[in-house]
Amino acid sequence: EAGVVQSPRYKIIEKKQPVAFWCNPISGHNTLYWYLQNLGQGPELLIRYENEEAVDDSQLPKDRFSAERLKGVDSTLKIQPAELGDSAVYLCASSSFNFDQPQHFGDGTRLSIL
């Protein structure tokens, strides 16, 4: 089966500019996660979707970050405006609904803010 696809793989922008990341999960996976990963750290959850519904966005900085998952398939994560501290890898993962099922991760988008 095809894996989780993320684009772009790399993005370099100047601070205060907007940026968007796209994720296509594995077909049939109801649950979609966005994580942020800083260098030398484990992934940190930003938002979790069950189908179209954002069921946990408590860690999402809502003043500048937004996300959507239209039709319960693809998802987009946006930052506007970007700050220097947002430089990180943004990972998308998907899984079946039940928590006894593993998450499958994409290779992430590495964001660099100048």
Stretch that binds another protein, among 12-20, 36-44, 60-68, 78-86 (CB under 8 A): 36-44
Tell me which amino acid residue 102 is.
Answer: P
Is the C-alpha dihedral spanning 50, 53, 54, 55 positive or negative?
negative
Contacting residue, 8, 14, 15, 44, with another protein by CB under 8 A: 44
Whose CA is closest to 11, among 2, 26, 22?
22
Size of the site for another protein (CB under 8 A): 21
For another protein, the binding residues in 67-96 under the rule CB under 8 A are 91, 93
For residues 113 and 82, give the distance between their C-alpha atoms in angstroms, rounded to a whole number: 7
Cβ–Cβ under 8 Å, residues 23 and 6: yes
28 binds another protein (CB under 8 A): no
25 binds another protein (CB under 8 A): no
Q: Can you give the binding site for another protein, defined by CB under 8 A?
A: 4, 40-45, 48, 55-56, 91, 93, 99-100, 102-108
